[in-house]
Amino acid sequence: MRRNKTRESTGLVPLLAAGANGMSGGDPAVVVLDDDHAILDSLERLLTPHGYQVRLHAEPADFFSAGLPPVPACLLLDHQLTGGVTGVQVHAELVRRGWFIPTVFLTAHWNVQVVVNAMRAGADGFLTKPFDPAELVDAVAQAVQHARTKQQNDLKATTARLRAAKLTPREREIVRLIVAGFLSKEIADLLNIALVTVKVHRGRAMHKLGAGNSVNLVHLATLADITR
């Protein structure tokens, strides 16, 4: 478990590149960024018994320096941080870096605009302090499941792209036309080739992509971005 309550600068600059996160594989993780040490302690005590690896940060710079956990994870993010930095600003930096981690905002100082800004920023949830423990645990569970689903979808897309790399230019062209909704006879006419040739290329493409039927072929082609 990584626990860091450094009192260095709370600004977003400089933000270091992702470094060692000190977490092992296996159990999902909850990363907490909150400048209230009592909240950090209470969240650690609350979440650890639920099987989460809990990583605590009091400052944005330390959070960004540590990088994201290698396991499915979510972020519990205080809205009002020391030094005038807001949770929305931290989340915007996550987006700028291309880092994905489902985020639940926590705050004792909120208004309608804060909620709107958080949701526009892509928040998975918004809880006020003092929070209800059961409600927070439920929000974390949903956010971690979101992370798991994203991880699984990313793996499927990567596998589909690797398989798609084995397609010949003609097979790829035919797959694109199938995804666009053309029938084999229409594809043969468009490409000025025999219908049997289209079927041969289609069969080979399905085999290379691991598609069992036409619907599956379209799904895998979409995952592999064979649409243009």
Listed by start position, the domains of the chain span 3-159, 165-223
Nearest Cα neighbor of 64 from 118, 21, 1 is 21
Distance from C-alpha of 79 to C-alpha of 86, rounded to nearest angstrom? 5
DSSP calls for 166-180: TS-HHHHHHHHHHHT
Per the structure block, which two tokens stand in for 226?
A: 């064979």
Task: Answer yes or no: CATH 3.10.20.30 is held by domain 3-159.
Answer: no
Q: Read off the amino acid at residue 206.
A: M
CATH architecture label of 165-223: Orthogonal Bundle (1.10)
Is the Cβ–Cβ distance between 144 and 136 less than 8 Å? no
Helix/strand/coil for 118? helix
pTM of the model: 0.72
- Taking only the tens of pLDDT, the chain with its 228 residues reads 444 443 333 334 333 333 345 555 578 999 999 999 999 999 999 999 999 999 999 999 999 999 999 999 999 999 888 888 888 889 889 989 999 999 999 888 666 676 677 777 778 888 888 899 999 999 999 999 999 999 999 999 999 999 999 999 999 999 999 999 999 999 999 999 999 999 999 999 999 999 999 899 999 999 998 876
